[in-house]
Each structure stands twice: as structure tokens, then as C-alpha cells.
Chains A and B, each alone.
Chain A
């Protein structure tokens, strides 16, 4: 009588239903969520700005200043965000003006690739928080090939990308195997593997025989990758955008084909929606988990290649830059669909691109961390937005009156 659950550690997440909710959400609600996120972010900027606080403590002396200081703080912050990520209004010519947009693309590319990876596991019904660790392992692979092996142009780069993808995929596979064999909950497993991978990559970076830079000392840092292995610049000097953005385009196209057109995607989605029906339909659910996690990590590996093969200087763990963590929110925000992930990746890429100019404008870009979290929270939890904007509850889906398809009832 008591149905014993197969996986007892933690229950399966109903990721699917949330994705459904996100996808069914009209653009209005998404827009309202983003707006509200920015609004609350603005409150944070204002309340913790010393100039504003000073102006308000002298409210009696100069009330005008108190109000204008609020306005200027917000304008400085979000203005800098705009100038840094979309179009630089302070620059004289169009080419310089458009430069921030290319920066947004550059930052969005790895977020989109890693986001697709997380999205893939969401659609298989797994809550994979392991992109960070997978990127670390991908970085280890890319660093090894790009600094220790020497090959001709292009080939070197391709081998390095493949190494990153393969190393990440193996790391992802470990999660799948642990889950399939022991029923361990993937949330805890992936988080623990993130810490392990970070420590492991650092360990590699410290070993002279492995990744440590020549003549390196105590700091875990690698050599500069061979120029033959680098993802080349796309528009030449003045622009940082590199060929990594093409990797992202390929990744998006492949993801779309995989999930929407291929039989693999069909089975992934089947397992995600109803694993026990999938099992009854002859699908090995455990194996599906393993392959899905390996593929998912492969996408994270692409993001790692993008990071490891594009920057000047030697590599450290900091090059991961929180992409693995943001990938979760990108995947959620994008409803785990190819198009959605692209849009979410662009938004978050813009945040990254704008951070520097916010810093310059004297506003802490850390506020964007709050804004990001709030936007995704609002979108994943529609009741909050409905309550705040007093939106009506969505009407229950009305069933169309049943038409007799062919035969008339006896």
C-alpha cells in the first residue's frame, strides 16, 4: 500500500511544471518581473549610497538635494549599465558607440552555452547545479592542451575545444553514474562536485608537471595558452569579441535540433515529464540520466573553452567568473528553450558587460547580483508578481467542447 519511492534522498523536483509555468507566462509578466527586479535593485543602490544618506540626513536644509540625489544615483547606475552594455552614448562615433553591444555578446556567449547545458538537464527532470565544476574541469582540459601541447593553427584550437568538452562531459557523467547507481540526489552531488572540481583544478594549477606556469611560484596559475590555440578576434583591435560567439551559435542550433527534432530529445523530454511512463515504454531511464548529464556538461565544456582560449595571460580558477552559477538562472529564466536561453543569456551578458562602467560610475555592480536573483525569483514564482501588480489569476484552461472525431457514439 505505501508506495515506496525509488529515490529516497530527496524527491524529484517538479522542474518541468515550473518551466511550463515560465513558458506559459505572457511577455507582460516577464517584462513586469524584469522591471520590478530593476526597481528593487534601485532601492538597494539608493539606500546604501552614502551621498544619498547624507543628503537625506540634511533633508530639512535642502530637501531638493535629497530627492535629486536619489534620482542621480539611479541614473548613474543604470545609465552606466546601458552605456556599458548596449550603446555608449558618450562616445563620438557610431563604431565606438556600438562597442558595448559586442561586449554584451562576448559575455553572453559562455552564459548561453553553459545555460543550454543546465537547460538540457532541466528538461530531463534533473536539477543540475554542477556547471561550475564542469567548467572547471573543462578549463583544466583546455589549459592542458593549449599550454602543454603544440600544434598548428586552427587544429590546436579545435583539439583544445574538444578536450574541454570531453573533460567536462566526463565530470558530468560522474553525477549521472552516481545518480543512476545509488539514487543520490543530484542537487547535493553536483554542489559537492563543484567544490571538488575547483580544488582539483587548483591542485593541477599548482603542479609543475601539470599546469603550473614555467618558473611559477606558489600561486596556482598556468602559462599563457599558445596563440595557435586561441579563439581569434572577430573584428580586430578595439573589439574584444572573438570566435567564441560562433561556438555559441553552433551550440544553440544543436540544442534546438536535439530537443525539438531528434528522437534523443523526445526521449529526454519523456523522461523529464514522466520517468515511470518512459520506463514502461522501454527507455532506460538511468542511462538517459547519464547521457543527458554528459551532454549537458559538454555544453558547459564549450563555455570553458570560450573562457580558457580567449583571454590574455595565464589561467586561474577565477576565469570561471561565476558562469556556472549564472547558467542555472539563465536556464530557468529562458524556460529551458533554445530561444529563451539566448534571450536570458543576452540579458545577463549585458549585466556583465555593464559592470565595469558601473564601477567607473561609482556604483557597485554587485547590485546586479541582487537584480538577477530577483528577476528569476519573480519569474519562477508567478504568485509574487501577481500579488504585487494585482494581476488576475490565470483562468483555468477551458476544455474545448469535445468534437466527435470520426465515429458517432454508439
Chain B
């Protein structure tokens, strides 16, 4: 018997150079830093404050002239852009480490430029730890997005799930004086909301996007109503839960800078450290994950090998929704300390963008969520150190970054093939 040739690809390939997009973006960024922040930048010193005042081991502050810093960084950035250009000449993509180092340097220039002359300087611990705190709802929302989209259900209702979690955790936390109970009930409430989404989408085949949008509208309607007629009447007994205590992990929290950022946090952050790797493990290393991904790629094929498509989707969407509920709790009892009208403010949608940017992989999604967390911190921090920059423009930053991310990455990454496709046999 003759053998069928098993070579990847039946057709000859044409060498096509990688897209110029990355290189051009890098070059423009480099030029902006060099010219706007460096040569025509602010003359004055900027102080980088590495350590938090509470730390026992204090790293010395670093004071540098802003124009000098930005000029030097600008030149470095342009050099990296040139390197990227040469990689492209060799028909290779720029390596990830180059892009990451580029990004870090660009951010350093931006921070330095913003904080020029500000007395408090660039407080690294403040910026990094708040980046993490602000990223938590996005990370949990992103995990919810991964879980449902990997199984083939588009979850536009993350926004509503975050809002549900925020509301329930705050109210239950206040009424029972038990924040842990608040957190658990937030997860349950959000899970129930997900069950509505899941059963309408899976069993009744209602369009997933429409149902998601409408559930958001419903949650906004209900929480607004309850906020105005109920919580506002007696907010100290209904909507004043406070936040979880910070838990410093012995030894680890003594590491300079990073110890304070990573290991002196609320339980919500530690849960993130637990959930993200667990989801990665389950998704890519276990039977459950293989089945969920099969259902999200080709539900009929999964069905023909005896996997119950509807049930798999139902539970992945529901469990994802519970994690989103945890994200909602992180907004209130993990950060602000009370519930505010429509306080999720589009973070559920940013979480969807984060999922795309992170290519449906828990680790990458977490990293991109951190990028967004940083833009949110920037909004708060830039206003303090650099009052000249218009507040409304800084407000736009997270949304603009989302737009760039979605526009730049959509079409270049591959979603689960059956994402959003209802499954029906007849």
C-alpha cells in the first residue's frame, strides 16, 4: 500500500515579509519621545522614588534631568526600532523581548516627563501596586471571557457580571459584617446571571451578543433602582463594607519594591495569583480543558465523540461568571470600599478587549490586563503630578488603548473557531 505523504502544507509557500506595523509604531513612538519629551521637553529634574516609605530597606532615590533622560531614552528607542527594522529585513518578526523592553523604556520616559518638577516624584511602589489592584477586575473579567469563549460562548455580559458582583458583595458584606461572605455571595449571584445567559444562549439559541447586551441593561437598571431607592436611604447599614485587610506574606513582602507590590495585598490579589495559573493548567493540560476547547472549536465533532456540548458550555460559562463576580467584589471590597452607580464603567468591555489582546491565554490575558490597569492608574496619578495635562484627555487613555489594541490585534489572532456559534443538531 502506498503511503500518503504527511508533510505540513500541500502548497508551496511564498515568502512574505512580516507586517511593517510594529516597526513603524516603534519608530514613531521613539521619535515622539525624543522630540516632544526630550529635545523640546520640560527642563527640570524628575525624581524616581523606588521604595515605599514603609519598607525597611530603602533604595536611594534617583534624580535626573527630564530632558536628558527623555533624550537618552528616545535615542535608545530609535535604536531598538532600527533593530526591529533589520529583523524585518531578515524576514523575521521582532522578538517579544525587544518589544517588551521597548515598551518599558517608553513608559519610563512618559512617567519621567509627566512627573518633571513634581515634588513627590515617580513613586514606583504606588504606581505598580495600584496597577495590580486596578487590573484585578479586568483579570477576573478576562478569565471569565476566556472560559466562556474557549467553550464557544461569547460573553458580552461580563460588564453586568462585574456590576452584580460589586453590588452584592458590598451589600452582603455590609449587612453581615463578613466580607468573605460578601465575596462568596457575589460569586453566586454572578454565577446565576451567567446561568441565565448560558441557558438562553445554549438551550434556547437566543443570539449571544444580544442577550449579553440586554443582561447588561437589566443589571444596570436593577442596580440603579436599588441604589436610589434602597442603598441611598441607609448607606451606612447597607453600602459601607470597607475593604479586606492587607495580608503581608512573611519574608516575601520584605523584598525591595516588588515585595510591597506583590506580597502585601488583599485576598483578591492572592486569589488572582491562584486562579490564573490554575485556569492555564486546566485549560491546556487536563482532560476537562481539552474537552472545553474541543467544544469551542468544533462542537459537532465533540458531540460525535460523546462530549455533551450543552453541558460543557453551560458550566464553563457559569464558572467563568463566578470568577467575574469575584472581579466585581474586587471593585468594591477589594478596592474602593462601597458600591457606586454603574461603577464598572465599561471595564467588562475592556476585559473583552483584553481577552483578544491576550489571545485567549490566561497568562497573556493577565499581562494585557496589567497594561490596562496601568492606564487607569495613569489617569489618577498624572492628574496629581502634572496638573497641566487636561483631565478629560487622560480620561480617554484606557479607552483609546483598548481601541488601538482591538483594531491592531483583531484579525491577527485566531479566536476559537466556534466562538459565538450556537450548536444545534437539527
| Chains A and B in contact, CB within 8 Å | yes
Binding site for B on A (CB under 8 A): 2-15, 17-18, 44, 48-50, 127, 129, 178, 181-185, 187-189, 191-193, 195-196, 199-200, 202-203, 206, 325, 328-329, 332, 364, 366-367, 369-374, 376-377, 380-384
Task: Report how far A49 CA is from B210 CA in the complex, Å.
Answer: 32
Interface residue? B251 (CB, 8 A): no
Tell me the smallest distance from the CB of A1 to a CB of chain B, in Å. 11
Of B206, B225, B410, B420, the residue contacting A18 (CB under 8 A) is: B206
Q: Give per-residue flags for B396-426: 1 if the beta carbon is below 8 A from chain A beta carbons, else 0.
A: 1001101100111111011101011110000
Q: A9-B410, A381-B204 are in contact. Are A192 and B214 (CB under 8 A)?
A: no
Alpha-carbon gap, A348 to B244, bound state (A):
42
Q: Is B221 an interface residue (CB 8 A)?
A: yes
**Are B392 and A203 in contact (CB-based, < 8 A)?**
yes
Q: Which residues does B use to contact A, with CB under 8 Å?
A: 154, 156, 200, 203-204, 206-211, 213-215, 217-218, 220-222, 224-226, 228-230, 233, 346, 349-350, 352-353, 356, 390, 392-393, 395-396, 399-400, 402-403, 406-411, 413-415, 417, 419-422
- Do the beta carbons of A191 and B349 come within 8 Å of each other? yes
A48 vs B228: C-alpha distance in the bound complex, in angstroms?
A: 10
B410–A196 touching, CB < 8 Å: no
Given contacts A9-B411, A11-B421, A18-B210, 20 further A-B contacts (CB under 8 A): A5-B417, A9-B415, A13-B210, A15-B210, A18-B206, A182-B406, A183-B411, A184-B406, A185-B410, A191-B346, A191-B349, A192-B346, A192-B400, A200-B396, A366-B221, A366-B228, A369-B220, A372-B217, A373-B222, A380-B210
Residues of A within 8 A of B208 (CB): 13
- How far apart sit A388 and B213, CA to CA, in the bound complex (Å)? 22
Give chain A residues whose Cβ lies under 8 Å from the Cβ of B353.
188, 192
Whether the Cβ atoms of B225 and A366 lie closer than 8 Å is yes
Rounded to whole Å, the gap between the CB of B171 and the closest CB of chain A is 12
Q: How far is the CA of A192 from the CA of B213 in the complex (A)?
A: 15
By a CB distance below 8 angstroms, the chain B residues around A384 are 200
* Residues on A with beta carbons closer than 8 Å to the beta carbon of B410: 7-9, 182-185
Q: A10-B419, A380-B214 are in contact. Are A203 and B390 (CB under 8 A)?
A: yes
Q: How far is the CA of A384 from the CA of B204 in the complex (A)?
A: 9
Chain B residues within 8 Å of A12, by CB: 420
Q: Which residues of A contact B352 (CB under 8 A)?
A: 10, 187-188
In Å, the complex CA distance between A13 and B209 comes to 6
CB of B156 within 8 A of CB of A187, answer: yes
A167 vs B198: C-alpha distance when bound (angstroms):
39
For B352, give the chain A residue with the smallest CB separation: A188
**What residues on A are CB-neighbors of B346 within 8 Å?**
191-192, 195
Q: Are A8 and B403 in contact (CB under 8 A)?
A: no
Query: Which listed residue, A3, A18, A188, touches B402 by the CB 8 Å rule?
Result: A188
Contact across chains for A202 and B349 when beta carbons are under 8 A apart: no
Residues of B contacting A329 with CB < 8 Å? 214, 217
**Contact present for B411 and A48 (CB under 8 Å):** no
Please determine whether B218 and A192 come into contact, CB atoms closer than 8 angstroms.
no
| Complex contact B207–A9 (CB within 8 A) | no
Q: How far is the CB of B191 from chain A (nearest CB, A)?
A: 19
